[in-house]
Amino acid sequence: MEKLAIFREYDIRGIYGEDLVRENVVRIGYLIGQELRKKGGATLGVGFDARTHSREIFKWFCDGVLASGVTPYNLGEIPTPVGYFALYCEFEGGLHLDGSVMITGSHNPPQYNGFKITLLKEPFFGEAIYALEKDFYALDFDVVTQKIPENSNIKTLNVLEMYVAFMCKEFSHLKGFKIPISIDCGNGIAGVGITKILEHLKIGYEGLFLEPDGNFPNHHPDPSEEENLRFLHKKVQQTKGIGFAFDGDGDRLAVVKYTPNENKVYKGDELAIIFAYKIPNPVVIGEVKCSLNMYESIDKIGTSIMYKTGHSNLKVKLKETNAHMAFEVSGHIFFNDRYFGFDDATYAALRVLELVYEEGMGFDKVLEKLPSLYSTDEIKIPTTENEKFAIVERLKEVLKNPNTLPINFPRIVDIVSIDGVRVIFEEGWGLIRASNTTPVLVTRFEAKSQQSCVLYQKVLLELLEHIKE
């Protein structure tokens, strides 16, 4: 079998009809079932997003799970966080699920799909996925097909109803709260949960693209891209309130607040600061792309921890440290305070509404006291899957040896290498890391002056180009 590029750091993901065909999906389902059995598990909840091919992939995947001897349960068309939530539920007859798998392409284009896997409440990622990849190619598919039952009646569990009930109880104090709210679901799956919760709480809202549609006819469901927020910006300007944008599978959030001249969009590290100031002695995890302001301001009132990018990495670190929260710049937000420690955009949106309920539209005043910093958005540099990590390793070696650096290279104060290389200069920092999901290098730069930010970007990108040659 030709090698496939579907086994990624955080999940398994590919193109329907090319990488994700019946044989490959059945293999994956079988191997995931085997992995669960090795851990002593026997029940697996399987949910899916609104993509046009998700239901077919669900059937193929469950065939593989059944062949492994594990019992799959249909969680239905739900956001990814609802699949995580299912692991904390007790269903009829005292049933507890041992694992969950979400069939989703997340924020990728419509032709993509994939699997986000959680076994015994632990994310299945990294080395575990790469080990599964080896088993994938060694597996005798004929043996698997012989184990698939001829008639399989997969029971449905209404976890979405339980999730909505939980949220309505947790945020019952917001009932009837009146504030102009706008929601953009981008025709992803988040609308099936957040709308029910707001309606039950009698909180009015203006909705944009709430209906799930796997073709995403209005805009791409990735709220980290400013272009995809244009409709929400317009709505928030009209209502003079607050807006929430969700990604395709409902685990990432963008928050937009009305201001007279230009709406304010909060990145994940800014929300981290706001929430940290509401918790006594907070312990907060950020990733390597987070702002210096986030780490310095949280360290004044508690403890910040810098860690690797990636939702699976942060979930594991959150559990290991028992921190209150974790944040990614891109909008993955993890609450271990009053919640279960997984990334859930709906829950995060309700926590933001709670802040507005308690403090009004000035809930973000703490940000006004922060030093002014100049930063770039993520700058992505195309490369190849085979080269991206090797380039970063070569860059690390060069940076560790000052004699190899160009004359007049800015003084390096420190180098953080937990995920790529974050170079700390006297006035700011620059980051270059290999993406774990696409064949690109991800860069970001920040400094106390625009001049320094431009300089750090220039010298590091020039050094990178020299190394690539």
Among the listed residues 54, 100, 106, 375, the single catalytic one is 106
Strand ranges for 351-459 from DSSP E:
374-375, 379-382, 412-416, 421-425, 428-434, 440-447
CA distance 303 to 15: 41
Letter for the amino acid at 194? Answer: I
106 belongs to the catalytic site: yes
68 belongs to the catalytic site: no
Residue 98: both structure tokens together: 């041992």
Among candidates 80, 69, 77, 152, which has minimal Cα distance to 123?
80
Among candidates 309, 323, 270, which has minimal Cα distance to 293?
270
Residue 448: both structure tokens together: 């106390």
CA distance 286 to 295: 8
311 belongs to the catalytic site: no
Start-to-end Cα distance in the chain: 33
CA distance 91 to 97: 9
**DSSP letters spanning 340-371:** -SSB-HHHHHHHHHHHHHHHGGGTTGGGGGSP
Q: Could you tell me which residues come within 8 angstroms of residue 255 by beta carbon, excluding any fewer than 6 positions away?
A: 242, 243, 244, 265, 266, 271, 349, 352
User: Which DSSP state fits 92?
Assistant: G
Q: Let me know: does 9 contact 132? Beta carbons within 8 Å.
A: no
From the CA atom positions of the chain, what is the Rg in Å? 23
User: Which DSSP state fits 1?
Assistant: -
β-partners of residue 45 are 73, 100
Letter for the amino acid at 104? Answer: T
Among the listed residues 27, 332, 351, 444, the single catalytic one is 332
CA distance 99 to 418: 29
Beta-carbon-side half-sphere exposure of residue 133 (alpha carbons within 13 Å): 17
CA distance 252 to 332: 5
Counting DSSP H helices and E strands in the chain, the numbers are 14, 21
Which parts of 207-344 fold into alpha helices (H)? 230-239, 268-276, 292-301, 311-321
Among the listed residues 8, 13, 311, 422, the single catalytic one is 13
Strands 374-375 and 99-103: unpaired
Residue 90: both structure tokens together: 């007790």
CA distance 228 to 220: 6
**Which residues are the active-site residues?**
13, 106, 332
